[in-house]
Structure 1
Amino acid sequence: MSAPASSDLSAIVENIVATMAQETHRGKVASYIPGLACVPVNKFGIAIVMADGTVHLGGDALEPFSIQSISKVFALTLALGKVGDQLWRRVGREPSGNPFNSIMQLEAEHGIPRNPFINAGAIVVADVNLAGHMPREAIGEMLRFVHYLAGDESIVIEEDIARGEAETGFRNIALANYMRAFGNLHHPADLVLGCYFHQCALAMSCQQLAMAGRYLMLDGMLPGSGRVVNARRARRINALMLTCGHYDASGDFAFRVGIPGKSGVGGGILAVVPGVASIAVWSPGLNENGNSALGTRALEMLSEATGWSVFSAR
């Protein structure tokens, strides 16, 4: 899969930013999470980091936002480094077909979440990452890992966001306790949830997020730093992003965009074109499935303009 000339890509980014500025149906911010309700819905940013290291920015690409569920990609990478394929005994690899915070499937499937990108699966992943640590240590490990991936130690966890989620995340509390009852959570639910809420409260800009996704673009290699995961694992994480990264709209995202991606209710999406580009978009207004409305449209425009769909022969 080839990349357009740098000047062409700059023009594509400029066109996307201009088009998004004219959009009137921008979705609704995640008002159920304190701290996100006040984010202006008119924000839009895009960052593209190419395999050769060139960077293309547009709109509010340098403004930090709460990455929320995009953090599940980095948490999964850490957990696979700790326990390898043993993780799949506790978490599935299938699309859920249900909202990200659904509890319905857990009873029928004996406390085993469908995949690591719905909330229940991410809570199990947090349980794996907590093993052998106090919560503060596990949270610190996650933050240092993201610093390493992005090459930027200015990235922080927003404590007020994490605290707000802990105070209002009753569905996540229910999910954790339900899985604990099935024996699929090995630590006290409140400790696991503390780790989970803090990883979701990572604040990153589009540029930082696109930089952090480079290892998934380059078969597990991080430019200038070495190997993060092997090529097989990078491909499999990308596969999960494509099939499960947008909750019950994952099939529609694959149909419209055709690029592995992971969304978050902060309005961000991390997308990966293997061998070509790591992309981050942000617009806080969400569609009915909890994914960024403008971010999804922007990635569809980008895929059409560049031919970057993984299903394309271009």
Structure 2
Amino acid sequence: MDLQSVVDDIYADLAPRIGEGKVADYIPQLARVNPAQFGIAITTVGGEVFSAGDAAVPFSIQSISKVFTLTLALGKAGETIWNRVGREPSGSAFNSIVQLEQEQGIPRNPFINAGAIVVTDMVLAGHAPREAIGEILRFVRYLADDETVGIDDAVAASEQATGYRNRALANFMRGFGNLQHPVDHVLGVYFHQCALAMTCRQLSRSGLFLANSGRDAMSGHSVVSNRRARRINALMLTCGHYDGSGDFAYHVGLPGKSGVGGGILAIAPGKASIAVWSPGLNKVGNSALGSAALEMLASRTGWSVFE
């Protein structure tokens, strides 16, 4: 299969629709992003990279970072993390507080905001906030095999200034005893991890360990066990797109994680890691063009896990 032709064709087919969707405007810095951008990159387990469009333009990965912090937290705390966060799809908006009250401060899964804030609290254990941010950044640079990956401080400051809902979620969970560090420390780390800026090429490289049974396909180093990689993929498939997760599984059939910056990381187990980016979002907060591109890709490659 000529994957370069596949990505070129997908880009050409979607080019007339570039700019579709609505840019996330509740984070002021994201509202400034030009919506007329679209990139796609595939990194195969054999180490080949295929890309088209704006695949070398850095963007704010936002909630895609939750995959990397979950991986770190599992490395620190193992299966005990599931005492503090669930593994079920939420069916609610990513920043909902309603479910959290009914379920006694235990978030439904690690990919909604409340769950990711608890995971960040675990990564913070034994660290000052600055050290925890450094650990997350080092880990993502290691996965991307690229020291130029950084944090967009303007986006982090923008989130810090407007993150009232996240503060409410964090204080609420702290009230239930499910946060162990001061709320400001946890959110400081959380806002910085969401402000990681990466290109599609860097992001697809970073997810490669999940496509390769937990091993870095280039170096051969083990990042996580095969079993843990499988479980992270399962959570991405069932919970990775908020209340659009079922629809994404239905249309695309790949484990994936979206972010309101317009990026989506998708995993074809045993084959490749794929990153797409287009800032315009659909009704449930996932990249409109990115979702369409991944549906085309799954269809043209036969990579859906349900094939």
TM range (shorter): over 0.9
What's the secondary structure of 1:227's corresponding residue?
coil
Instruction: Tell me the residue number matched to 2:124.
Output: 130
Q: Distance in 2 between matches of 1:135 and 1:225?
A: 31
Q: Distance in 1 between matches of 2:5 and 2:219?
A: 29
Structure 1 residue runs without a partner (length 5+): none
Q: Distance in 1 between matches of 2:304 and 2:222?
A: 25
Are residues 224 and 102 of structure 1, via their aligned partners in 2, closer, same or farther at CA, if it must alter by over 3 Å? same
User: Aligned residues, how many?
Assistant: 306
Identity fraction in percent: 67
Are residues 70 and 184 of structure 1, via their aligned partners in 2, closer, same or farther at CA, if it must alter by over 3 Å? same
What's the secondary structure of 2:71's corresponding residue?
helix
Q: Cα offset for 1:35?
A: 1.2
Instruction: Tell me the residue number matched to 1:247.
Output: 242
Taking the TM superposition and a 5 Å limit, the aligned residue runs for 1:153-192 are 153-192=147-186
Instruction: Tell me the residue number matched to 1:116.
Output: 110
Taking the TM superposition and a 5 Å limit, the aligned residue runs for 1:137-148 are 137-148=131-142
Q: Distance in 2 between matches of 1:179 and 1:19?
A: 45
Taking the TM superposition and a 5 Å limit, the aligned residue runs for 1:8-157 are 8-23=2-17, 26-157=20-151
TM-score by length of 2: 0.99
CA contact (8 A) 2:254 2:304 kept: yes
What's the secondary structure of 1:126's corresponding residue?
helix
CA contact (8 A) 2:19 2:37 kept: no
Instruction: Tell me the residue number matched to 2:209.
Output: 215
Q: Distance in 2 between matches of 1:297 and 1:305?
A: 12
CA contact (8 A) 2:214 2:224 kept: yes
Q: Distance in 1 between matches of 2:41 and 2:19?
A: 22
Correspondence for 1:301 among 273, 286, 296: 296
Q: Cα offset for 1:25?
A: 6.9
Q: Distance in 2 between matches of 1:24 and 1:298?
A: 11
CA contact (8 A) 2:11 2:52 kept: yes
Name the aligned partner's letter for residue 227 of structure 1: S
Q: Distance in 2 between matches of 1:40 and 1:227?
A: 38
What's the secondary structure of 2:23's corresponding residue?
coil
CA contact (8 A) 2:18 2:37 kept: no
Q: Cα offset for 1:15?
A: 1.0
TM-score by length of 1: 0.96
User: Do residues 199 (structure 1) and 193 (structure 2) align?
Assistant: yes
69-78 or 27-36: bigger deviation = 27-36
Instruction: Tell me the residue number matched to 1:279.
Output: 274
What's the secondary structure of 1:226's corresponding residue?
coil
Q: Cα offset for 1:34?
A: 1.9
Name the aligned partner's letter for residue 11 of structure 1: S
